[in-house]
Amino acid sequence: MKYSFHIGSINEVHIEQELTSEDLTVLVGTVEQLCALAVGFLGSRPSNSDFEDEDDEDEDEVASPALPFPRVVRDDLPEPEPEPEPDPPVHPMAERAGKLFQKIIQTWTINFDQEGTEQPDRVKALMDAHVDPASGQILAHIVKAGGLTQATHKVLWELWQADLLSPDGAPSFPGDGSESYRDWLVQEESRINKMARQIAENVTQVGSIAFPPLSDLLEYHNPYAELSHV
């Protein structure tokens, strides 16, 4: 008997052969085994839904919020110090005002309280300062120092340290054994304290005409009265 078989797949197989009944039985069993293998293979492959489930699990893992890191609170730790406040902005005329006031006091020290000597034009020095664009900052400079006497005292110390206060040059320590350096320094300090108050009072008198607002900044009480013995 002649049988013709056709197995359709990716690769087609045509069989035309004279088969006996025994050959046919073997062939049918072989085909059944091949079909069973194909079904098993297709059943073992993951479906699209399996891949979608895995993607959902990955998304769930990413989306889940991380647990917060445990914090340990200690009461014995010192509190952090507050940050210092920034310095207020400096007025553009502040530096000029300081130099002008120093110039006024330096002018006042020239032959101050020395009769029969040539004196500088102190009235003009105050009038020039009064009409200067930095005149308002001169007043602010004096107020910041604590008053006219203290502002003058500060300038006198700067002049003394720069060897510009004594008419005959630097106020040098004698060093001849007549007094100790400490005693000499105390005398110099007392002299500057006394001079600061005298100059501030004189500036107030002249300023009442040449620079009226400045004359209102003299301290009522002399801050160096006990230190200068005046």
Q: Is residue 148 part of a domain?
A: yes
What are the residues facing 16 on neighbouring strands?
Answer: 4
The tens-digit pLDDT sequence of the chain (230 residues) is 444 544 454 444 455 556 566 766 766 677 677 777 766 666 655 555 554 555 555 555 555 566 665 665 666 667 778 888 777 777 788 899 999 999 999 999 999 888 889 999 999 999 999 999 999 999 999 999 999 999 999 999 998 888 766 554 445 555 555 567 788 788 888 889 999 999 999 999 999 999 999 999 999 999 988 765 44
pLDDT of residue 3: 47
Rounded CA separation 119/199 (Å) = 14
Q: What whole-number distance in Å separates Cα of residue 156 and Cα of residue 150?
A: 10
Do 115 and 223 lie in a common domain?
yes
Residue 215 is assigned to a structural domain of this protein:
yes
In a domain, 58, yes or no: no
Residues 210 and 99 in one domain: yes
What is the secondary structure of the chain as a DSSP string? Answer: -EEEEEE-SSS-EEEEEE--HHHHHHHHHHHHHHHHHHHHHHHHSPPHHHHHHHHHHHHHHHHSPPPPPP----SSSPPPPPPPPPPPPPPTTHHHHHHHHHHHHHHHHTTTT-TTS----HHHHHHHHHTSTTHHHHHHHHHHHTSHHHHHHHHHHHHHHTT-SSTTS------SSSS-HHHHHHHHHHHHHHHHHHHHHHHHHHHHHH-HHHHTTS-SS-TTHHHHT-
Same domain, 26 and 103: no
Note whether 37 and 98 are same-domain residues. Answer: no
pLDDT at 93: 86
Asked if the structure places residue 78 within a domain, the reply is no
Domain contains 7:
yes
Query: Which structural domain range is residue 204 located in?
Result: 94-228
Answer yes or no: is 187 within a domain: yes
Residues 140 and 217 in one domain: yes
* 1 and 110, same domain (yes or no): no
Output the pTM of the full model: 0.57
Q: pLDDT tens digits, residue range 29-86?
A: 776 777 777 666 666 555 555 545 555 555 555 555 666 656 656 666 677 788 887 7
In a domain, 76, yes or no: no
Amino acid identity, residue 139?
L
Looking at the structure, do residues 22 and 110 belong to the same domain, yes or no?
Answer: no
**Cα dihedral sign, 89-92-94-98:** positive
Give domain status of residue 199, yes or no: yes
- How many structural domains does the chain have? 2
Check whether residue 37 and residue 112 sit in a common domain. Answer: no
Of the candidates 170, 171, 174, 155, the one whose C-alpha atom is nearest the C-alpha of residue 109 is 155
State how far the Cα of 79 lies from the Cα of 49, in Å rounded to an integer. Answer: 58
Residue 5: strand pairing partners? 15
